[in-house]
C-alpha cells in the first residue's frame, strides 16, 4: 500500500508537467479560448463546475478506496458480515442534503450566467442581419446604407467566403433568420451558438441576441452547427474583428463606389484598402470556399475575396 501510494503521488506530480499545457489551459479544462465577455463568463462557470466536480470526485474516490483498503476480507476473518449501516437515518439525511445543496448551487450559478448571456441592451452600437440559406450566409448592416441606398451587404457563394466584419469593444446585435431550413450560427470563439429558424416569429424563436463586445482583433471561423443538408459541412463564414477606427473606415468604404471597378466596394476590397497587414488581407482566410454544385473544386483554384 505504501509503495502504491508513492507511485500514485509521483504520477500526480509528473503528469501536469509533461502535458505541455500552460496553467491557463489547465484551468480551462479543455474549454476553448473565448473573445467576448459572455464567453469569459461561461468559461468561468465551466472552470468552477469542473473544480467542484473534482472535489466531489476526490471525496467519493477516497471513501471508496478507504472502504476497499480497510474493510477487505482478511485471512483470519471468521466469515461473519461486517457491521451493517443500512437504515441509518442521520447518514441518509446527510447523503440527501449534500447532493441537493450541490445541485442547487450549480443551478443558481448556471441561471445567473445564462441570464447574463441572454440579456439584450437597449442601444447596441452595431446591428447585423444574419440570413442563412442552403448553403451559405448573407450579412447586412441595416444602419449603414451603401451607395445605392440599400443596406451594406455581404453575400457568400460557392466561390467566395462571406466576410462578417465586426468592431472590437462595441456592443453588437445580431438579428437572424433562415430562408429555408433550420441552420445554426456558430463562432467557436463566441462559445455559444444560435439556431437560425425560418419564420422565427411563427416558430416562437428569439432571433435577436447581442454580445458585449469582441475583446481582441482577429480572424475567426464561423460555421453552421445544425445539419441542414448535403453541403452543411461546407457552410462556413469568417469573422474579421477590427479595432473601432479601422471598422469605421471599412464601413465608410463600403458606402462608396470603388473607382477601379465602378461598383460598390466588396467586403474584401474594402479590407484590402485598409492596408493593416494580414488581418485586412482578403486572401488570408482561415477557412476556404467549397463548390456546392457537385463539381470537384480544383486544388489550384484561387480563393476570392468576400463579396
CB–CB of 184/194 below 8 Å?
A: yes
Do 42 and 150 lie in one domain? The reply is no
Query: In sequence order, which residues have a C-beta less than 8 Å from that of residue 122 and are 6 or more positions away?
Result: none
Do 135 and 268 lie in one domain? The reply is yes
Do 107 and 30 lie in one domain? The reply is yes
Do 142 and 246 lie in one domain? The reply is yes
Q: Each residue of 196-215: b (16+ CB within 10 Å) or e?
A: bbbebeeeebebebbbbbbb
Range of the domain at 194: 126-280
pLDDT at 81 over 80: no
Task: Report yes or no on 160 lying in a domain.
Answer: yes
Do 33 and 136 lie in one domain? The reply is no
DSSP letter (8 states) at residue 198? B
Task: Report yes or no on 50 lying in a domain.
Answer: yes
pTM confidence score: 0.73
How far is it, in rounded angstroms, from Cα 233 to Cα 151? Answer: 29
CB–CB of 139/162 below 8 Å?
A: yes
Do 45 and 131 lie in one domain? The reply is no
pLDDT of residue 82: 67
CB–CB of 43/25 below 8 Å?
A: no
How far is it, in rounded angstroms, from Cα 255 to Cα 271? Answer: 13
Quote the Cα angle for 165-306-130, to 5°. Answer: 55
> Which of 175, 167, 113, 86 lies closest to 139 in space, CA to CA?
175
Q: Is 224 left (phi over 0), alpha (psi -120 to 50) or beta?
A: beta
Do 101 and 137 lie in one domain? The reply is no
For residue 164, give the CATH number of its domain.
2.60.40.420
The domain tally of the chain equals 2
pLDDT of residue 17: 57
How far is it, in rounded angstroms, from Cα 158 to Cα 235? Answer: 9
Task: Report yes or no on 76 lying in a domain.
Answer: no
Q: What integer is the mean pLDDT of 199-214?
A: 80
pLDDT of residue 161: 83
Task: Report yes or no on 9 lying in a domain.
Answer: no
pLDDT at 297 over 50: no
Task: Report yes or no on 299 lying in a domain.
Answer: no
Do 142 and 165 lie in one domain? The reply is yes
Do 105 and 139 lie in one domain? The reply is no
Do 196 and 228 lie in one domain? The reply is yes
Do 183 and 97 lie in one domain? The reply is no
pLDDT at 291 over 60: no
CA distances from 275 to 47, 254, 261, 270, 282 (A): 39, 15, 19, 9, 11
Task: Report yes or no on 285 lying in a domain.
Answer: no
Task: Report yes or no on 3 lying in a domain.
Answer: no
Q: What integer is the mean pLDDT of 90-107?
A: 89
Do 180 and 203 lie in one domain? The reply is yes
Task: Report yes or no on 249 lying in a domain.
Answer: yes
Q: What integer is the mean pLDDT of 256-274?
A: 88
pLDDT tens digits, 3-41: 766 666 666 666 555 555 566 667 777 777 888 888 888
Q: Each residue of 236-274: b (16+ CB within 10 Å) or e?
A: bbbbbbbeeebbeebbebbbeebeeeeebbbbbbbbbbb
Amino acid at each position: 500500500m505504501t509503495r502504491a501510494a508513492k507511485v500514485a503521488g509521483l504520477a500526480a506530480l509528473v503528469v501536469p508537467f509533461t502535458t505541455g499545457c500552460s496553467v491557463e489551459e489547465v484551468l480551462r479544462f479543455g474549454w476553448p479560448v473565448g473573445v467576448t465577455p459572455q464567453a469569459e463568463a461561461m468559461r468561468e462557470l465551466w472552470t468552477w463546475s469542473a473544480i467542484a466536480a473534482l472535489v466531489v470526485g476526490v471525496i467519493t474516490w477516497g471513501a471508496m478506496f478507504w472502504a476497499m483498503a480497510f474493510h477487505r476480507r482478511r485471512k483470519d476473518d471468521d466469515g461473519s458480515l461486517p457491521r451493517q449501516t443500512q437504515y441509518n437515518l442521520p447518514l441518509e439525511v446527510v447523503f440527501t442534503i449534500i447532493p441537493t445543496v450541490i445541485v442547487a448551487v450549480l443551478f443558481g450559478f448556471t441561471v445567473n450566467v445564462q441570464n447574463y448571456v441572454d440579456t439584450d441592451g437597449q442601444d447596441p452600437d452595431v446591428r447585423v442581419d444574419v440570413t442563412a440559406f442552403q448553403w451559405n450566409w448573407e450579412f447586412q448592416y441595416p444602419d449603414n446604407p451603401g451607395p445605392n441606398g440599400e443596406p451594406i451587404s455581404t453575400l457568400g457563394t460557392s466561390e467566395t467566403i462571406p466576410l462578417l466584419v465586426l468592431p472590437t469593444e462595441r456592443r453588437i446585435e445580431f438579428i437572424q433568420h433562415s430562408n429555408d431550413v433550420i441552420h445554426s450560427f456558430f463562432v467557436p470563439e463566441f462559445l455559444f451558438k444560435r439556431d437560425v429558424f425560418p419564420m422565427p416569429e411563427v416558430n416562437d424563436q428569439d432571433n435577436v441576441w447581442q454580445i458585449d463586445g469582441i475583446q481582441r482583433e482577429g480572424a475567426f471561423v464561423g460555421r453552421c452547427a445544425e445539419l441542414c443538408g448535403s453541403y452543411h459541412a461546407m457552410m462556413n463564414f469568417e469573422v474579421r474583428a477590427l479595432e473601432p477606427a479601422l471598422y469605421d473606415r471599412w464601413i465608410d468604404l463600403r458606402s462608396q463606389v470603388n473607382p477601379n471597378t465602378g461598383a460598390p466596394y466588396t467586403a474584401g476590397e474594402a479590407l484590402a484598402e485598409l492596408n493593416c497587414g494580414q488581418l485586412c488581407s482578403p486572401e488570408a482566410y482561415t477557412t476556404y470556399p467549397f463548390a456546392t454544385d457537385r463539381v470537384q473544386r480544383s486544388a489550384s483554384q484561387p480563393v476570392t475575396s468576400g463579396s
